[in-house]
Chains A and B, each alone.
Chain A
Amino acid sequence: GENVEQHPSTLSVQEGDSAVIKCTYSDSASNYFPWYKQELGKRPQLIIDIRSNVGEKKDQRIAVTLNKTAKHFSLHITETQPEDSAVYFCAASNRGRGSTLGRLYFGRGTQLTVWP
């Protein structure tokens, strides 16, 4: 099965700085790579995702890049704010039954702390 590795496990940045979280995956059949943000005691919330047919996607201060050859993808947060503080999980998936989405394989998470 798929194995997703995520680094770093903790990341502290000053408000306004950029933060980068990196993930690698093992299964070349994976074609969908979402990122979830989880605040303490809350549900994982989808913040951005990328599919294997594109190399980069951006949504305001958040961007994700994908390198299929190297099997790694990264989350970039620019102009960080204290409210960005949370645990961020990367995940990988493949196509499921009926052309739907298969199971998500999650990384171990990155605790991001943004200091004011």
Chain B
Amino acid sequence: EPEVTQTPSHQVTQMGQEVILRCVPISNHLYFYWYRQILGQKVEFLVSFYNNEISEKSEIFDDQFSVERPDGSNFTLKIRSTKLEDSAMYFCARYRNNEQFFGPGTRLTVL
């Protein structure tokens, strides 16, 4: 059984549009991470979210990105004005027992 689910599984958008990716935990968790993986490349850290605030962010996580926990359970990653180079798989990961478990991912395609 998956640790988390992510929606949508695939998102196609036009350059300059805003997208919101969602991470839905199976049960209540405090600590989540967002990563992205450009096709054929390594997994890159974006941001970690602990106890309803950003814990750490990478140099990739610039002003066009934001994270929220809008309803106390789901976690969202928003990209305000998408660029072609934002096309990638976006994974959220949850923390459990000193380990990180990845969700199934959202494939974002920016045209």
Q: Smallest CB–CB gap between A85 and chain B, Å?
A: 16
Q: Is the C-beta of B82 less than 8 angstroms from some C-beta in chain A?
A: no
Chain B residues with CB under 8 Å of A98's CB are: 30-31, 50-51
Chain A residues with CB under 8 Å of B104's CB are: 42-43
Q: How many positions in chain A have a CB within 8 Å of any CB in the partner chain?
A: 24
Instruction: Give the contacts of B70-91 with A (CB-CB under 8 A).
Output: 91
B4's nearest neighbour on chain A, judged by CB, is A43
Q: Smallest CB–CB gap between B36 and chain A, Å?
A: 11
**B99 x A49 contact (CB < 8 A):** yes
Instruction: Give the contacts of B58-111 with A (CB-CB under 8 A).
Output: 58, 91, 95, 98-105
B46's nearest neighbour on chain A, judged by CB, is A103
Chain A residues with CB under 8 Å of B41's CB are: 108
Chain B residues with CB under 8 Å of A105's CB are: 45
Instruction: Give the contacts of A40-63 with B (CB-CB under 8 A).
Output: 42-46, 49
The residue in A34, A36, A101, A102 that gathers the most chain B C-beta atoms within 10 A of its C-beta is A101
Q: Is the C-beta of A100 less than 8 angstroms from some C-beta in chain B?
A: yes
- Chain A binding site: helix, strand, loop or mixed by DSSP? mixed
Chain A residues with CB under 8 Å of B102's CB are: 36, 43-46
Q: Is the C-beta of B15 less than 8 angstroms from some C-beta in chain A?
A: no
Instruction: Give the contacts of A77-116 with B (CB-CB under 8 A).
Output: 89, 91, 96-98, 100-109
A91 to B33, CA, bound (A): 15
B97's nearest neighbour on chain A, judged by CB, is A101
Given contacts A43-B105, A98-B31, 13 further A-B contacts (CB under 8 A): A36-B43, A43-B104, A44-B43, A44-B91, A46-B101, A91-B43, A98-B50, A101-B31, A103-B58, A104-B33, A104-B45, A105-B45, A106-B42
